[in-house]
């Protein structure tokens, strides 16, 4: 079945440092890929998405490119802020009938940004 493997955390960075959180996936066909962010005590917020190979999703300075050849969707930001501290989840929706109607999540990466 579909699966998402995410970089182990926690990750601690200083403000203005560069961020990369690795995400790779296993899925048949052509899934859609998502990054969600969860702030303490809250639900999940969509950060960005990509629905086909070579698409780049971007939002709030974060970017991720859908790489089918490497089955990856790594999250990047050039300069992190303290307010970016949160848990980040990589997820996919598959292309089969069932998997297209549910999100399959990675384990999450806790990011802490220090001032």
Does 32 help bind other proteins (rule: CB under 8 A)?
Answer: yes
Token pair for 102: 């549910």
Q: How many CA atoms lie within 13 A of 111 on its CB side?
A: 29
Is 28 a binding residue for other proteins by CB under 8 A? The answer is no
Report the 10 Å Cβ neighbour count for 104: 18
Closest CA to 53 of 44, 64, 43: 64
Rg, C-alpha atoms of the chain: 14
How many residues in the chain? 115
Q: Is 73 in the site for other proteins (CB under 8 A)?
A: no
Query: Taking CB under 8 A as the rule, does residue 108 contact other proteins?
Result: yes
> Is there binding between residue 20 and other proteins (CB under 8 A)?
no
Give the number of residues in contact with other proteins, rule: CB under 8 A. Answer: 27
Based on the shown chain and the rule CB under 8 A, indicate whether residue 17 belongs to the binding site for other proteins.
no
Chain residues binding other proteins by CB under 8 A are 30-32, 34, 36, 42-46, 49, 51, 89, 91, 93-95, 98, 100-108
């Amino acid at each position: 079945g579909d699966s998402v493997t995410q970089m182990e955390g926690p990750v601690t960075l200083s403000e203005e440092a560069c961020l990369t959180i690795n995400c790779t996936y296993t899925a048949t066909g052509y899934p859609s890929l998502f990054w969600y962010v969860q702030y303490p005590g809250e639900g999940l917020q969509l950060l960005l998405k990509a629905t086909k190979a070579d698409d780049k999703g971007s939002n709030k300075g974060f970017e991720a490119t859908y790489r089918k050849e490497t089955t990856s969707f790594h999250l990047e930001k050039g300069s992190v802020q303290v307010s970016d501290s949160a848990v980040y989840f990589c997820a996919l929706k598959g292309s089969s009938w069932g998997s297209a109607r549910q999100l399959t999540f990675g384990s999450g990466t806790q990011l802490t940004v220090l001032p």
